[in-house]
Amino acid sequence: MTPTELAALHEAYASDPHAFWLDQARRLDWERFPERSGDFSFDRADFHIRWYEDGVLNLSVNCLDRHLPQRADDTALVFEPDEPGAGRSVTYAELYADTCRFAHLLKERGVGKGDRVMIYMPMIPEAAAAMLACARIGAVHSVVFGGFSPESLAGRIDDCGARVVITADEGVRGGKRIPLKANVDAACDLSQGIDTVIVVTRTGGDIAMREGRDLRWEDHQDRLANDCPAEPMAAEDPLFILYTSGSTGKPKGVVHTTGGYAVWAATTFAWVFEPKPDDLFWCTADIGWITGHSYTLYGPLMAGTPTVMFDGVPTYPDASRLWETIDRLGVTILYTAPTAIRALMREGDEPVRKHNRQSLRLLGTVGEPINPEAWRWYHDVVGDGRLAIVDTWWQTETGGVLMTPLPGATSMKPGSACQPLPGIEPLLVDAEGREITGNDVSGNLCLRGSWPGQMRTVWGDPQRFIDTYFTTYPGLYFTGDGCRRDEDGDYWITGRVDDVINVSGHRIGTAEVESALVAHPLVAEAAVVAAPHDLKGQGIHAFVTLNAGEQGGDHIVRELHAEVRKHIGALAIPERIQFAPGLPKTRSGKIMRRILRKIAEGQLDQLGDTSTLADPGVVDALVRNR
Ligand code: PRX
């Protein structure tokens, strides 16, 4: 984007927000174009968020049907499996046909508008078709990342009341098989109400099939019609639920609705990546995360930009996987996470340099703050110093990117998300909720007003939505992030200020890990904090107190790992488990996490005043056992 184009967008928003937001909606095909744009109030008494309320559309039409007249045989998706080069391309016509077939199968099983469907799948083209099929018939999809345990999947099934799960026999990642169908079976035993499991064959591995409940996709695919009318959806009809960790309790079902989400995914994809006709876009995020929803699938599909679905890991079979794949497929835009960049940086420049990467024209990063060293390596080595980097800050809750430098219009700074997109109004507030004005300041990051991609509610718990995001600072959306605005007015996200840990770009709630740990019969108490980690950004440091008379040791550590794997998934296993005779508490019994954080960070000279603790002696013991 040129500076003039960007200035014109800011000016258009400032002079007439309503016209500005309707203009963005013109990127989509609507059955009925909206006359209304945003209508929202963050006041408790009259809380509501609505966008394009009178509009009618279908997202699958915007991803598929709109491309069929001119480009039916063009590539929509490039499937790149774990084994390099063993993939295939899928055209818009093919993806359309599979989407319609899935839609029919779901309908045959009684799924209709508003019903919830769980998707627990590898990154295969059928997963895209399954999501699009839900959108086509107005069912609400809830994708659960394949790394989550059966128990996590069961919790989500119960929370949203799904009746159907779509899965695969097994996943394959980094050469290892993941027993997806077996996990679904276990989840069904732990939850209520699943009457249909649709299984796509990925590996052909041995799986159990339950008569009457389980269907093989391949047994039905050929008999199902490859055409299916799209359900006309009101803009505010729910599109999907995505569960994400918060600072308290169980994961929240973040609800996104059809019109606003689609407009924001399409608009941000257009602004940030400026797609060109010969692009091949590669976002490495799994569809189990919001990045996979907005930028692996929906954003590029709406734009008609072919998108890579990568079912592997960046380090398999070796550290040049990404660069080899980029050359082989001709990828033009790479959008990945700082944790992957750091892992590959550690392998040195040679695995990168032996591939030419000439097809690349833009790099992107998302998910956590990128340290300047990793940014420079990404820029200088991966990008040969010739490519811009979009460091995009956003959240599951925001639906799409909110802050990023825009190539051509914004100058980049290593580690800074720089500036808000047009229509987005960030502000920093202090602990008392007063706005901090001026530059060269730090505070808690809030947003004033709404934007189309904002989440609408927490599934089944609207009060929790208000309490979590709109109560700390009344009238504002609180992001949970700390942030600095530098002397030029550019924003630097400093990380979460709540009890959420960002491990390799994945959000883990401390409360969830703690409750998994205390599920072990020998554990009396557990407290979990973040500790800096070279590759993961943050690692999980758990302080665990065992029942009186019990001794910690490797054996218990292994059992505690198993406990976390069972209740949440391997992604939440603590980096470090430190056994402690007691935890630092105030006299009223509150655990002083601030002290635990400093111990985990090794900042032992910054423990602060410990004299108010019920038993100051426990701190010495914790420091001694570090
Ligand atoms: O702390 C911020 C961090 O990731 C959080 C959102 O996590 P999640 O909802 O899982 O969404 C991840 C993908 C959008 C934010 O609150 N975060 C995300 N992107 C960045 C970031 N921190 C710094 N820089 C970023 N570019």
* pLDDT tens readout for residues 599-610: 999 999 999 888
Residue 246 CA to ligand 1 centre (angstroms): 13
CB 171 within 8 A of CB 146: yes
Residue 339 CA to ligand 1 centre (angstroms): 12
> Is the CB of residue 395 below 6 angstroms from any atom belonging to ligand 1?
yes
**Which of 445, 493, 497, 538 is the pocket-test mutation for ligand 1 (most atoms within 8 Å of CB)?**
493
> Is the CB of residue 574 below 6 angstroms from any atom belonging to ligand 1?
no
**Which of 395, 484, 490 is the pocket-test mutation for ligand 1 (most atoms within 8 Å of CB)?**
395
> Is the CB of residue 244 below 6 angstroms from any atom belonging to ligand 1?
yes
* pLDDT tens readout for residues 499-522: 999 999 999 999 999 999 999 999
Among protein residues, the one whose CA lies closest to atom 12 of ligand 1: 367
> Is the CB of residue 417 below 6 angstroms from any atom belonging to ligand 1?
yes
For 322, half-sphere exposure in the C-beta direction (CA atoms, 13 angstrom radius) is: 27
> Is the CB of residue 286 below 6 angstroms from any atom belonging to ligand 1?
no
> Is the CB of residue 247 below 6 angstroms from any atom belonging to ligand 1?
no
* pLDDT tens readout for residues 190-215: 999 999 999 999 999 999 999 999 99
Q: How confident is the model at residue 626 (pLDDT cuts 50, 70, 90)?
A: confident
pLDDT over 90 for what percent of the chain? 96
pLDDT above 90 for 426:
yes
Distances (CA, A) of 287 to 229, 296, 301: 25, 7, 14
Among protein residues, the one whose CA lies closest to atom 23 of ligand 1: 369
d(CA 140, CA 134): 6
Residue 505 CA to ligand 1 centre (angstroms): 7
ipTM score above 0.90: yes
Closest atom, ligand 1, to C-alpha of 480? 16
Lowest mean pLDDT among 119-123, 323-327, 583-587: 583-587
Distances (CA, A) of 296 to 128, 170, 275, 280, 288: 10, 21, 14, 11, 11
Q: At what angle do helices 510-518 and 554-567 cross, to 10 degrees?
A: 120
* pLDDT tens readout for residues 368-402: 999 999 999 999 999 999 999 999 999 999 999 99
Report the length, in residues, of the chain: 626
Among protein residues, the one whose CA lies closest to atom 11 of ligand 1: 395
**Terminal Cα distance for the chain, rounded:** 51
Residue 506 CA to ligand 1 centre (angstroms): 9
**Type of residue at 558:** R
Please state, rounded to an integer, the average pLDDT across all residues of the chain.
97
What does the pLDDT read at residue 268?
Answer: 98
* pLDDT tens readout for residues 60-75: 999 999 999 999 999 9
Q: What is the DSSP string of 182-219?
A: HHHHHHHHHSS---EEEEE-SS-------TTTEEEHHH
* pLDDT tens readout for residues 288-336: 999 999 999 999 999 999 999 999 999 999 999 999 999 999 999 999 9
What does the pLDDT read at residue 186?
Answer: 98
Closest atom, ligand 1, to C-alpha of 369? 23
What does the pLDDT read at residue 202?
Answer: 98
Query: Quick one: DSSP state of residue 50?
Result: E
* pLDDT tens readout for residues 428-470: 999 999 999 999 999 999 999 999 999 999 999 999 999 999 9
Mean pLDDT, range 246-263, rounded to an integer: 93
**Which of 394, 406, 419 is the pocket-test mutation for ligand 1 (most atoms within 8 Å of CB)?**
394
Residues in CB range of 333: below 8 A, 6 or more apart? 273, 279, 280, 281, 282, 360, 361, 362, 363, 364
- Please give the structure tokens belonging to residue 95: 């993806």
Q: How confident is the model at residue 148 (pLDDT cuts 50, 70, 90)?
A: very high
Residue 535 CA to ligand 1 centre (angstroms): 16
CB 171 within 8 A of CB 207: no
Q: How confident is the model at residue 625 (pLDDT cuts 50, 70, 90)?
A: confident
Mean pLDDT, range 413-438, rounded to an integer: 97
**Which of 255, 291, 390, 507 is the pocket-test mutation for ligand 1 (most atoms within 8 Å of CB)?**
507
* pLDDT tens readout for residues 478-491: 999 999 999 999 99
Chain Cα centroid distance, residue 118: 16
d(CA 384, CA 386): 5
> Is the CB of residue 491 below 6 angstroms from any atom belonging to ligand 1?
no
What does the pLDDT read at residue 247?
Answer: 78
Residue 167 CA to ligand 1 centre (angstroms): 27
Which residues line the annotated binding site for CoA?
Answer: 173-176, 291, 504, 565
Which residues line the annotated binding site?
Answer: 173-176, 291, 367-369, 391-396, 481, 496, 504, 507, 518, 520, 523, 565
